[in-house]
Amino acid sequence: MTQVHESEQQGPVRVLLCSGPNLNLLGTREPDIYGRETLADLEDMARAAAQDLNLELVTMQTNAEVDIVDAIQKARGAFEAIIINPGAFTHYAWGLHDALRAYEGIKIELHISNPAARETWRHTSVVSSAVTATIAGLGPVGYPLAVAAAANLIADERAVG
């Protein structure tokens, strides 16, 4: 994995992990689909991966679309990447789509399950066209993989730019 080194002038490389509605119920909500790990467990896995890659990971969870839109707007200029599990917002939250489009950094859409393999209404993502990449269907391992992907994309961007 590519390690990202902080710039003396810029400080640590920061990544924001946003979790949408009902992800606070992980571990008890439909464990046959989402597993038994809690959101705290998944955040810890992501945080450990970030530490190994010399990234600072900041996490947030909300059940309110306005809060996640505000977090993305505040991330502009403060974070080099956003990893977002939008939960149900995936399928209808055009405000979230627009906020992600306005964010200039790397954006990774993350899902524990594979929405394309589930109910038909889950097949549409209004977020996908606004992100750099999507990781779906890998269960809990998707969290550290998303962090590793963000690190690699940041390193690639720095090498070019």
CB 106 within 8 A of CB 132: yes
**Is 111 designated active site?**
yes
Burial degree of 144 (CB within 10 A; 0-12, 13-18, 19+): buried
Beta bridge partners of 7: 11
Sign of CA dihedral 125, 127, 132, 137: negative
DSSP string, 93-145: -HHHHHHHHH--SEEEEEESS-GGGS-GGGG--SSGGGSSEEEES-GGGHHHH
Nearest to 75 by CA among 18, 155, 20: 18
Which residue among 5, 91, 103, 111 is the active-site one?
111
Which residue among 5, 34, 97, 103 is the active-site one?
34
**Is 92 designated active site?**
no
CB 123 within 8 A of CB 116: yes
Catalogue the active-site residues: 34, 111
